């Protein structure tokens, strides 16, 4: 489908098929499932594990929506943009710890989000509190740190 704006991929529907999880393979082979995000016919991919393949398991992947990796990268970029925008007026830089996710709780499920690290002259605890509240309010981030170590 044409004209899907990248923000449309934030609804958690990319690669979500419009059929139940355990739909037999023969069913989606004869009548393709459709992506709940963009409506495209979904492709059947083999599982990596031979055992799962033999059990008849398969994965449905949308050929149009960005991959999970691409979505995660896009989310990190957006979080960083917002964090920088919030930190800058207080003379602080913001970065995301590479490869580190913080565990939180959203509803009944664990959520994982990047950790924002603030770097610069200590602005006082009240200001740090303000910044961390604004960052966690405007993004899925659940942990903001302030760097004390002087080494870059």
Instruction: Using CB under 5 A, pick the residue from 28, 33, 60, 65 that binds Zn ion.
Output: 65
33 binds Zn ion (CB under 5 A): no
Of 28, 62, 116, 131, the residue at the interface with Zn ion (CB under 5 A) is 62
Q: How far is the CB of 70 from Zn ion (least distance, A)?
A: 12
Question: Using CB under 5 A, which of 61, 64, 82, 119 touches Zn ion?
Answer: 64
Q: Is 66 helix (H, G, I), strand (E, B) or coil?
A: coil
Residues 83, 32: Cα–Cα separation, whole Å: 41
Which residue do the tokens 């990248």 mark? 6
Q: Could you say which of 38, 83, 94, 128 contacts Zn ion (CB under 5 A)?
A: 38
Residue among 150, 151, 148, 147 nearest 96 (CA): 147
* Segment interacting with Zn ion (CB under 5 A) among 33-41, 112-120, 123-131, 140-148: 33-41
Q: How far is the CB of 12 from Zn ion (least distance, A)?
A: 12
Q: Are 9 and 66 in contact (CB under 8 A)?
A: yes
- Token pair, residue 149, equals 């170590």
Please give the structure tokens belonging to residue 50. 């031979």
What residues line the site for Zn ion (CB under 5 A)? 35, 37-38, 40, 62, 64-65
């Amino acid at each position: 489908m044409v004209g899907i704006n990248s923000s449309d991929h934030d609804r958690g529907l990319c690669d979500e098929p419009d059929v139940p999880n355990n739909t037999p393979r023969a069913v989606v082979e004869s009548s393709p499932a459709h992506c709940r995000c963009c409506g495209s016919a979904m492709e059947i991919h083999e599982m990596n594990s031979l055992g799962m393949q033999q059990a008849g398991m398969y994965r449905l992947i949308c050929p149009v929506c960005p991959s999970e990796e691409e979505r995660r990268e896009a989310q990190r970029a957006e979080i960083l943009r917002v964090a920088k925008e919030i930190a800058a007026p207080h003379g602080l830089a913001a970065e995301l710890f590479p490869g580190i996710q913080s565990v939180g709780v959203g509803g009944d499920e664990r959520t994982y989000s990047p950790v924002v690290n603030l770097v610069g002259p200590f602005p006082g605890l009240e200001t740090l509190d303000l910044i961390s509240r604004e960052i966690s309010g405007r993004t899925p981030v659940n942990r903001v740190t302030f760097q004390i170590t002087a080494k870059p």
